[in-house]
Amino acid sequence: MKREIGIILGLVLLVRSNPMDQSLRYCFLSDGERSKTASEENGIAIEEDYPDNVGKMEFSFDLFHNLRSDDEEMNLFFSPHIIHQALTMALFGAKGETEQQLREVLRVNQTKLELVRKFLAETKVLRNSSGNSVELAVANRLFFSEEEPVRMCMRATFENDQIQFLDFKKSDEAERIINKWVEAETKGKIKDIIPKGELSPMSRIALASSVYFKGRWEQEFDKTRTKQSLFYVSPDKITQTQMMYLKGNFKHGVASALQSYIIDLPYKGNSHSMIILLPPFVAGSLNETISRLTADTFYSAVENLRYYKNEDYSFNDEVEIYFPKFKTEQTIQLTEALRSIGVVDLFNPEASNLTDFSEKPGLAFDSAIHKSYIEVNEEGSEAAAATIFLMSRQGRLHPLTKYEINRPFAYFVIDNTKGNEILFSGIFKTPKTAKIVTEIL
Ligand SMILES: *[C@@H]1O[C@H](CO)[C@@H](O)[C@H](O)[C@H]1NC(C)=O
Ligand SMILES: *[C@@H]1O[C@H](CO)[C@@H](O)[C@H](O)[C@H]1NC(C)=O
Ligand SMILES: *[C@@H]1O[C@H](CO)[C@@H](O)[C@H](O)[C@H]1NC(C)=O
Ligand SMILES: *[C@@H]1O[C@H](CO)[C@@H](O)[C@H](O)[C@H]1NC(C)=O
């Protein structure tokens, strides 16, 4: 009775660049900070808690709102966490206005040195935190042209894991190497993240980030109960999908501020959870819930659910859950979305200032590609259809004992140990593989 979920994705930022040379300690210090002594610098402790998780969550929802589509059949899946990390790597090389824009979008105000230290410590931990429950591997790497005399301090800081030199003149070969690396880091799930011909012999830096996540539910779905069931793309548009079934104790209830039901499906070990927001069965309700989503409303809804903090109905008791088995793969061209949330200069060779990577002006990112994949899978199932859909009254929602997730919903894989940091965000509107079976006009 194994019920597993795997989530994989990768992100690539392409850059044209060149170089320079400095000592490691001075690499990420501003002029003012350089007056501090080495021992002072070495003495700075890496922050152990995550005071910036609110900012990170705001960034997550900025992107979420930007990437979501009004299209009734457009699912969404991406990792705000990995995009935040990739942009943080870009920030290490940025100065002036380019740096300021990144700081505002990422909501970071620590010094670069602090950020780099934290980044290295965090990625070291995340690089391979495959415990016995949740498997999580995050990897970031800068690929430089081997002709570039990259600043020594950059080499020193990111050597081993995070930096690799390639012959970009043979761009096909370079593409292949980067794609292979992402593929290996994502256990074969993300292939060909860089489309053929995207790298040119002029390319001098590519930045790739990838994350692989695989977790098993704390309480597994009952494989024998998986059935072909109805899924309501909208109240009058019905399709079919494999629906899993589970009966068990869960934190669940109503998030009034989001006009939605909320369910916490923890992974084994409880370090991570999938939070499902299931709006009532009313046309346009997912749109309503999504438009109410902010860092604040989301965080509060999760905390209310966990700690019974306010008048929201929240319970921890036995419920029945019907949940679709699904797989979503998505490639997102992030450049426009990033521009519209404020990362403007980074993609403009006229304006970008990446002089901490290279002193030579004109260095700018070519593009940002995000590829993601999620699979909620289960072996073996029987087909049959029959389900009852929930019809909710308008106004106050009442708690349920049976959650039929047979209509569009939003889901978030969060890290419970880091202030509910959002690892992955998704909107599920329709089972991709299914055909619409009924369309009532
Ligand atoms: C980059 O920003 C720094 C700091 O603001 C500035 O001194 C430098 O002139 C800028 N370089 C370019 C090429 O814009
Ligand atoms: C950074 O931002 C936080 C929250 O906005 C603020 O409390 C803190 O004082 C800021 N730190 C610096 C050095 O500006
Ligand atoms: C992670 O660690 C596990 C066990 O310690 C090992 O089998 C696996 O190869 C490691 N993965 C990576 C990407 O280093
Ligand atoms: C969803 O809400 C937005 C405003 O928040 C609106 O522009 C859009 O038309 C709505 N879409 C649907 C399908 O109702």
pLDDT in tens, 343-386: 999 888 888 888 888 776 677 777 788 888 887 743 211 111 11
Which phi and psi angles does 319 have, rounded to 5°? -135, 165
CA dihedral (355, 79, 5, 257) positive or negative: positive
**208 vs 295 pLDDT, higher one:** 295
Q: What is the pLDDT of residues 413-424, one digit of tens each?
A: 998 888 888 989
Q: What is the pLDDT of residues 255-286, one digit of tens each?
A: 888 989 999 999 888 888 999 999 988 888 89
Q: What is the pLDDT of residues 35-60, one digit of tens each?
A: 444 334 443 333 444 456 889 999 99
Q: Residue 401: pLDDT above 90? A: no
**53 vs 33 pLDDT, higher one:** 53
Query: Per-residue DSSP letters for 104-165?
Result: HHHT--S-HHHHHHHHHHHHHHHHT---SS-EEEEEEEEEEETTS---HHHHHHHTTTTEEE
Q: What ligand has the least distance to the C-alpha of 47? A: 2
Residue identifier of the C-alpha nearest atom 3 of ligand 1:
96
- For residue 160, how far is its CA from the centre of ligand 3 (angstroms)? 16
CA gyration radius, the chain: 23
User: How confident is residue 122, by pLDDT bands cut at 50, 70 and 90?
Assistant: confident
pTM: 0.83
Q: Which of 125, 128, 162, 213 to mutate to test the pocket of ligand 3 (most atoms within 8 A of CB)?
A: 128
> Residues 196, 199, 200, 206: what is their CA dihedral angle, to the nearest 10 degrees?
-170
Between CA 133 and CA 218 the distance in angstroms is: 9
**400 vs 194 pLDDT, higher one:** 194
- For residue 107, how far is its CA from the centre of ligand 4 (angstroms)? 28
Q: What is the DSSP letter of 267?
A: B
Residue identifier of the C-alpha nearest atom 13 of ligand 1:
361
Burial bucket for residue 42 (CB in 10 Å: 0-12, 13-18, 19+): exposed
Q: What ligand has the least distance to the C-alpha of 361? A: 1
Determine contact, residues 236/316, Cβ cutoff 8 Å: no
Between CA 291 and CA 284 the distance in angstroms is: 11
Per-residue model confidence (pLDDT) at position 49: 43
Residue identifier of the C-alpha nearest atom 4 of ligand 1:
96
In sequence order, the 6+-apart residues with CB closer than 8 A to the CB of 357 are 15, 17, 19, 92, 93, 150, 151, 154, 205, 363
Query: Taking residues 191-220, what's their average pLDDT?
Result: 82
Among 85-89, 198-202, 217-221, whose mean pLDDT is lowest? 198-202
Q: What is the mean pLDDT of the chain?
A: 77
Q: Which of 31, 95, 358 to mutate to test the pocket of ligand 1 (most atoms within 8 A of CB)?
A: 95
Q: What is the pLDDT of residues 134-156, one digit of tens each?
A: 777 777 888 878 877 778 777 77
User: How confident is residue 33, by pLDDT bands cut at 50, 70 and 90?
Assistant: low
Per-residue model confidence (pLDDT) at position 20: 29
Q: Which domains does the chain have, with CATH numbers?
A: 3-35+46-215+327-375 (3.30.497.10), 221-325+381-439 (2.30.39.10)
Q: What is the pLDDT of residues 232-259, one digit of tens each?
A: 988 888 899 999 999 999 999 888 889 8
Ligand 4, CB cutoff 6 Å, lining residues:
70, 284, 287, 291
- Nearest atom of ligand 3 to the alpha carbon of 137: 13
